[in-house]
Structure 1
Amino acid sequence: MRLSNRTLVVGATVVLTAAVAVTGAGLHLSKSLAGFRQSPKELVDEIWQVIDREYVDATFNGNDWRAVRREYLSREYATPDDAYKAAREMLEKINDPYTRFMDPEQFKSMQIETSGELTGVGITITEDEETNEITVISPIEGSPAADAGLNAKDVIIEIDGTSTKGMDLNEAVGMIRGPVNTSVRLKVRRDNQILNFDIIRARIEIHPVRHSLRETPQGKVGYIRLVQFSSNAAAEMRSAIREFEKENVVGYVLDLRSNPGGLLFSSAEIARMFLRQGTIVSTVNRQGVSDRLQAGRGFLTDKPMVVLIDGGSASASEILAGALQDNGRATLVGTKTFGKGLVQSVQPVGEASGIAVTIAKYLTPSGRDINKKGIEPDIELALTDAQRESLTRDDIGTDKDPQYSQALVILRERIAAGQQQTSQSTTP
């Protein structure tokens, strides 16, 4: 499957702020040939054509897609809003929460989000494929949602007192987003607990890469926390690695916890910085055609590394973690990842709207399909509820963080083993 530079390929998650955006495994923007001097009915037909041409399942999840076209083109649409409503109804028939229509406001918001500029509460949500519940993938680090204490896997059961049972994801998005300095109340189910969160919406400045130098008995270690695969993530990662290499670090801890994903090509570009060669990820479309992204350019370091993952590590995070794990490049520490292995193409339709359509699934280099399964860590270490609640944002990546401390132990072992091997190979 060849991906043009004019298409936005994304994974299967939805970022919720005052704006909404699709994020996960990649992004492709392609200009609509129509340019939208269309009628509302032509917009509905254009959306139908996109699904007919590109949707990953040729059976359209058991729907007679041609009959759907006849049904919706037999109607009359007086306004664009009529067409928007029809588009959403039509896509609901596929029963794929990640294939969705975005009106002009939502589409613009998605484009803003991938540039790393956000306003809102800062949570990444999805509609659970089995239960249809609105579920938190992860809060964005430093966002109002994160500061309020929302966690990955929290199920949103009410928004400002309105039940989310049977609620469409777009409707939930519309209720949660809103102007800066306004509030929203979210009632969530966390395991057997019911919790309420009053969150003040805010402007969220996202720098996807945060890094610092750590002193250890074995030498300097580079700690990198990657919070999102936005358009500037690769550049910031490259800068951090080059800075660390000048400091002669002996190893790296890469922290992907609560990273909901982002751009596919950002993930691949970052993987290439740590992989001299090998497959990064393969995607398979409905014709069974596989396309592989390979390492081989942009390589920066082969120092030992450990990657931290958890249930909030999704989509593009899983691509990177899977590539490093399958190529034997890094040891994964933490808990199983979220399990989003679908690829979407996001493209404009009509005048200023957009559509996200699932076009493929992705496999790790060894051929693992991790959708709904996640990636298992090499070393499993879960935080207790008490540990999770006691950890502040400032504690992440410090000695107060049990998973980070374990990562350092594993990294020291890898560094020592490498130093011993080097010593043996140079002994006359």
Structure 2
Amino acid sequence: MRNSFLKSLLGLLLVLVLWLGLQPSTALAVSSEQRFVSEVWRIVSRAYLDETFNHQNWWLTRQRFLKQPMPDRAAAYQAAQEMLASLEDPYTRLLQPDQYRSLQTSTSGELTGVGLQITRDAEQKFLKVIAPIEGSPAAKADVQPRDRILAINGISTDTFTLDEAASQMRGPIGSQVNLRIGREEREFDITLVRDRITLNPVYADLRIQPDGKRIGYLRLSQFNANAADEIREAILLLEEQNAAGYILDLRNNPGGLLQAGIEITRLWLDQGTIVYTVNRQGILDSITAHGPALTDDPLVVLVNQGTASASEILAGALKDNGRAVLIGDVTFGKGLIQSLFDLSDGSGLAVTVAKYETPNHSDINKLGIQPNYKVPLEPIAREQVATAADTQYQAAIDILCASNTVLAEAP
């Protein structure tokens, strides 16, 4: 009996040893494409804001996509993109190597294309313009925030990812791209000529009013790597010119680097909370100003529906801290924060890792920031922006010229 038991036990051990011995060769059977999809899955599993992963079993999602045939890297990209699409978050996305390099360029240098910042409406599933880049072919053609992009070169955008749409609009200088635009109840086509998009984010000058008041006008078009330094230099120069008040124009500014938004906010605030961030565990963190500000002169900020993301962090911080009056229209409403992760093959992965709240704990995602004074703006030509024909700009001038104490009285 004892010998029979020992033989059975040894048999089981032998089977176990043989099974374990097979494991290395089984592991080798996992392809590099499957490892790539697993790499994407693992980063999202660790970092994504919504720990329910859009109310799905994220592990089973991984298993389902790993079973798909992946003969090459293109198939792996497709599987990873479909896996990410199940989250229904347009901001969490795979950036193939050329797309990733282009994104890195757009926050630090220059690019070629039509100059549109876009998003995908999560509910209605269409591509939507956040804002055109100032001076770009799209801006010159009067493409507007919240326009819908229905087709690119005759191809419907229904199934395009953000990066596929962006890739379709990029191309050699001088080449053309046709966009089918939806605006309110009408549709129309425009043809744009691709050009070099110079990402010079700051325009500034001194505006002397009829009563002699000296007002510094600053227009910030994007939060790239140069933005904070350029705004700092512009403020210091205007201070030397004895500016007595400021207009900061954030209209059609689609955002960019979060850190640039924080650094620019600190140029205006001595102290106070800039933004709260909330991660997947619901843990609240805060980013604060630690002064001194470059100036304490009165400040008015111009905003509209194209004011998004880092622009909204800046506008919300200045409004909630009582540092500025906001004039214009309700902002875009992007209250989510993404981090970029490098992948092993040179691709990148943008993942929504947190949401933010303004200093007054307002969650503005899909809601936007309400200006202190809502002032409509009829369509005007580009050369009329920040002139007497610009009703929002003129309202800012009127407020600054009326009183230096208006900031404390603003609703």
TM over 0.5: yes
What is the identity, as a one-letter code, of the residue corresponding to 1:302? D
**Are the counterparts in 1 of residues 377 and 390 from structure 2 also a CA contact under 8 Å?**
no
Q: Is the aligned partner of 1:219 residue 2:252? A: no
1:329 alignment partner, one of 323, 332, 340: 323
How far is 1:153 from its partner? 0.6
What is the identity, as a one-letter code, of the residue corresponding to 2:207? R
How far is 1:218 from its partner? 5.0
Q: Distance in 1 between matches of 2:320 and 2:289?
A: 13
Q: Is the aligned partner of 1:78 residue 2:71? A: yes
| Corresponding residue number in structure 2 for 1:320 | 314
1:396 alignment partner, one of 385, 389, 396: 385
**Are the counterparts in 1 of residues 336 and 354 from structure 2 also a CA contact under 8 Å?**
yes
How far is 1:347 from its partner? 1.1
The C-alpha deviation readout for 1:292-329, integer Å capped at 9, x for no partner, is 11001352111001000000000000000000000000
| Corresponding residue number in structure 2 for 1:30 | none
Q: Distance in 1 between matches of 2:164 and 2:289?
A: 40
**Are the counterparts in 2 of residues 208 and 229 from structure 1 also a CA contact under 8 Å?**
yes
Q: Is the aligned partner of 1:264 residue 2:258? A: yes
| Corresponding residue number in structure 2 for 1:286 | 280
SS, match of residue 200 in structure 2: coil
Q: Distance in 2 between matches of 1:294 and 1:125?
A: 30
SS, match of residue 415 in structure 1: coil
| Corresponding residue number in structure 2 for 1:253 | 247
Q: Distance in 2 between matches of 1:235 and 1:367?
A: 29
What is the identity, as a one-letter code, of the residue corresponding to 1:337? T
Distance 1:417 1:185, change over 3 A: closer
How far is 1:75 from its partner? 3.8
Q: Is the aligned partner of 1:173 residue 2:166? A: yes
Distance 1:113 1:324, change over 3 A: same
What is the identity, as a one-letter code, of the residue corresponding to 1:92? A
How far is 1:416 from its partner? 6.5
What is the identity, as a one-letter code, of the residue corresponding to 1:171? E
Q: Is the aligned partner of 1:405 residue 2:394? A: yes
Q: Is the aligned partner of 1:140 residue 2:133? A: yes
Runs of 4+ residues over 3 Å off in structure 1: none
Q: Structure 2 stretches of 5 or more lacking a match?
A: 1-30
**Are the counterparts in 1 of residues 106 and 199 from structure 2 also a CA contact under 8 Å?**
no
How far is 1:417 from its partner? 6.0
| Structural mapping, 1:302-381, within 5 Å | 302-381=296-375
| Corresponding residue number in structure 1 for 2:7 | none
How far is 1:73 from its partner? 2.4
How far is 1:249 from its partner? 1.0
CA RMSD of aligned residues (A): 1.4
How far is 1:404 from its partner? 0.5
Q: Distance in 1 between matches of 2:64 and 2:106?
A: 35
SS, match of residue 306 in structure 1: strand
The C-alpha deviation readout for 1:48-78, integer Å capped at 9, x for no partner, is 0001001100100111100011122234533
| Corresponding residue number in structure 2 for 1:414 | 403
How far is 1:175 from its partner? 2.1
What is the identity, as a one-letter code, of the residue corresponding to 2:86? K
How far is 1:195 from its partner? 1.8
How far is 1:239 from its partner? 0.1
Q: Distance in 2 between matches of 1:305 and 1:283?
A: 25
How far is 1:158 from its partner? 1.5
| Corresponding residue number in structure 2 for 1:20 | none
Q: Percent identity?
A: 48
How far is 1:402 from its partner? 1.3
What is the identity, as a one-letter code, of the residue corresponding to 2:315? A
Distance 1:298 1:120, change over 3 A: farther
| Corresponding residue number in structure 1 for 2:24 | none
How far is 1:415 from its partner? 2.3
How far is 1:350 from its partner? 1.7
Distance 1:255 1:417, change over 3 A: closer
The C-alpha deviation readout for 1:345-375, integer Å capped at 9, x for no partner, is 1111122000001111000000000000000
1:229 alignment partner, one of 223, 230, 235: 223
SS, match of residue 280 in structure 1: strand
Q: Distance in 2 between matches of 1:337 and 1:222?
A: 23
Distance 1:77 1:165, change over 3 A: closer
How far is 1:170 from its partner? 3.1
**Are the counterparts in 2 of residues 61 and 94 from structure 1 also a CA contact under 8 Å?**
yes
Q: Structure 1 stretches of 5 or more lacking a match?
A: 1-37, 419-428
TM-score in terms of structure 1 length: 0.85
SS, match of residue 403 in structure 2: helix
**Are the counterparts in 1 of residues 303 and 328 from structure 2 also a CA contact under 8 Å?**
yes
- Between the two proteins, the alignment pairs up a number of residues equal to 376
1:105 alignment partner, one of 98, 117, 129: 98
Point out which structure has higher relative CO (alpha carbons under 8 A, 6+ apart).
1
TM-score in terms of structure 2 length: 0.89
> Considering only CA atoms, is the larger Rg found in Structure 1 or Structure 2?
2
**Are the counterparts in 2 of residues 269 and 298 from structure 1 also a CA contact under 8 Å?**
no
What is the identity, as a one-letter code, of the residue corresponding to 2:45? D
